[in-house]
A and B are shown apart, each in its own frame.
Chain A
Amino acid sequence: MSGPGLLPSGSLAGLVRVIDAGARTTLQDLGRPGHAHLGIPASGAADIPAATLANRLVGNAEGAPVLETTLRGPELRFDAPVTVAVTGAEVEVTVDGRPAAMHAPFRVRSGSLVRIGQATRGLRSYVAVRGGFDAPLTLGSASHDELTGLGPAPLKPGDRIDLGSHALDAPTVDVAPVAPILSSPVLHVVPGPRDDWFAPDALTTLLGVAYTVSDQVNRIGARLRGPQLQRRTDDELRSEGIARGSIQVPPSGWPILLLADHPTTGGYPVIAVVSEADLPAAAQLRPGDIVRFRLRRPPAAEPRSEDFA
């Protein structure tokens, strides 16, 4: 697996040099769904709406590769003039020491140093450049997968990343209204598929008590601390497929909220799954955040299956 640093450099579009990689910065796009039956996670941006917004702000295709930061962002030297946008976790952005706004495109001159600071709320910010970053595709995606190591390696100082050709029309969005990221969000869940493996009060506990996000958080999942969820049975669950957003409960009883790079199958029962609309908030949970779960009834099914043409 080649890192971005191994790419041929000096394309016409220009390039970005990594001065400081931040705490952990990876290339992400919309991932490689459709390979879970081979044991390969979908991966891709953990907070998809934030990543696609960053691309829209600079006039890219929504799935162009962006940088996903973790708590503390990188310092990047641009050797060509380009439009940049930063979305996701709230963070201080500077261009040659002058502050730049989030959720809005800004212009960077050749030679400029862009610094993405420490997130004050939320965990992952997204940095898009007009044209996107150019990165090798693995199974159709430039996403780094933390579980398997597939895709480009996380950024390191000295890496050079070419700019890509993902630009569409000139950006037309000046500034995007975004809902603030909360440090104590409420996530809605659908019970199951294995809620019946737990003691009768386990689901009530999950829905009634606030959990704290531990310091064990990565792209695979977030370990939570709070009341332990007791199981009804000591039987061993046989491996079964897992959905993104699953709340899996290992023998310790402390739930693990599974994110973009989760294993495709698992042997711990899943008590509930976070609803699709709340997955972005789940991906922004950072150590110390307080999370509450609320019931969301299984949604209305689609009226009738479409015939497969």
Chain B
Amino acid sequence: MTIRPGIRPAGDRAVLVELPGNATVRKLARLVPRGLAGIDEVVAGHETVLISWEPGRRPPVDLEARLSAMLSSSSTEGEGGSIDVPVVYDGPDLAAVAEHAGVSPEEVVRRHLASRFEVGFVGFAPGFAYLLGGDPSLRPPRLDEPRTKVPAGSLAIAGEYSAVYPSESPGGWNLIGRALIEPFDLHRDPPALLQTGMHVHFVESS
């Protein structure tokens, strides 16, 4: 099957590539840095990839063909990896999330633990990973009033995403617990623990 990426200009030296689904996003994000010359940044988003070239460079005319070839390749090299993340489900919004889903808080925890998450993309803050693959019954909207301070390590859900806040920041997601990890550490290489394409499994910590 040929996938024809939609290419939208993002200034003179970047394009936003629209893709059908987040699996192709992860594939392209993995292959572009190795397959095209002069790349500055490759930023995965929800069903998009922003590709920017180094200062002074421009996207090549045969970009669409090059991207199509990457998407139809069978390469799985360098894919994801997986990580178990210990969590405590004691967040202030657990009850509200349960009420929204029409189930008990214990059932929210059970469904969240049973989900197989994958990092769709990283953004918002250094090391903030948008996790896809959560249980479809658990999709609470964002808070009407974002909190001005969300503690680092908070496990949160909003819409179809789950995430762990890597540092204290404002935030509008529902806090259902705490993850016992350091999502962002400058003294680690790479500093972000969770990266696009990685499989994430939450494990309840006693």
Binds A, one of B3-11, B79-87, B88-96, B106-114: B3-11
* Closest partner residue, chain B, to A266 (CB atom): B123
Q: Most B CB atoms within 10 A — which of A37, A239, A276, A302? A: A37
Are B123 and A239 within 8 A (Cβ)? yes
| Shortest Cβ gap from B159 to chain A (Å) | 9
Q: Are B10's CB and A193's CB within 8 A?
A: yes
Question: Residues of B contacting A300 with CB < 8 Å?
Answer: 58
Q: How far is the CA of A306 from the CA of B54 in the complex (A)?
A: 14
CB contact under 8 A between A192 and B10, given known A39-B128, A241-B48, A264-B123: yes
Q: Within the complex, what minimum Cβ distance (angstroms) separates A280 from chain B?
A: 12
Partner of B45, one of A38, A48, A238, A244: A238
B130 close to A (CB within 8 Å) = yes
Which residues on the B side are within 8 Å of A264 (C-beta)?
43, 122-123
State which of A21-29, A65-73, A116-124, A267-275 sits at the interface with chain B. Answer: A267-275
Query: What's the Cα separation between A34 and B130 when bound, in Å?
Result: 19
How many residues on the B side are at the interface (Cβ–Cβ under 8 A)? 52
Q: Is the CB of B46 within 8 A of A243?
A: no
Say yes or no: B11 contacts A37, CB within 8 Å: no
B157 contacts which chain A residues (CB < 8 A)?
none
The yes or no answer to B170 lying at the interface (CB within 8 A) is no
- The yes or no answer to B191 lying at the interface (CB within 8 A) is yes
CA distance A303 to B125 in the complex (A): 36
> How big is the A interface, by class?
35 or more
Contacting residues, chain B, for A242 (C-beta < 8 A): 10, 43, 50
With an 8 A cutoff between CB atoms, is A283 at the interface?
A: no
Instruction: Please judge, given known A-B contacts A34-B40, A139-B186, whether A302 and B58 are in contact too, CB under 8 Å.
Output: yes
**B127 contacts which chain A residues (CB < 8 A)?**
38-39
B54-88 vs A, Cβ < 8 Å mask (1 yes, 0 no): 01111111110010000000000000000000000
B104 to chain A, nearest CB (A): 29
Interface residues of B in 1-47 (CB under 8 A from A): 8-16, 29, 34-38, 40-47
Task: Tell me if B41 and A38 are in contact (CB < 8 A).
Answer: no
Q: Which of A37, A150, A190, A308 contacts B9 (CB 8 A)?
A: A190
Contact of A308 with B35 in the complex, beta carbons under 8 Å: yes
Q: Is A299 an interface residue (CB 8 A)?
A: yes
Q: Chain A contact residues: over half helix, strand or loop, or mixed?
A: loop
Check B12 against A298 for contact (C-beta < 8 Å).
yes
Chain A residues whose C-beta falls within 8 Å of the C-beta of B15 in the assembled complex: 193
Please judge, given known A-B contacts A240-B50, A265-B121, whether A42 and B126 are in contact too, CB under 8 Å.
no
User: Across the interface, do B46 and A238 meet the contact criterion of CB distance under 8 Å?
Assistant: yes
Report which of A38, A39, A265, A301 forms a contact with B58, defined as CB distance below 8 A.
Answer: A301
Which of chain B's residues have a CB closer than 8 A to the CB of A246? 10-11
Q: Which residues of B contact A238 (CB under 8 A)?
A: 45-48
User: Does B174 reach chain A (CB closer than 8 Å)?
Assistant: no
A173 close to B (CB within 8 Å): no
In the complex with contacts A38-B126, A263-B124, A265-B124, A302-B45 CB distance below 8 A: no
**A interface with B by C-beta (< 8 Å):** 33-34, 36-40, 42, 48, 138-139, 148, 150, 190-194, 238-246, 263-266, 270, 273-276, 296, 298-308
The 3 A-B pairs at the shortest CB distance, nearest first, are namely A241-B50, A265-B123, A241-B43
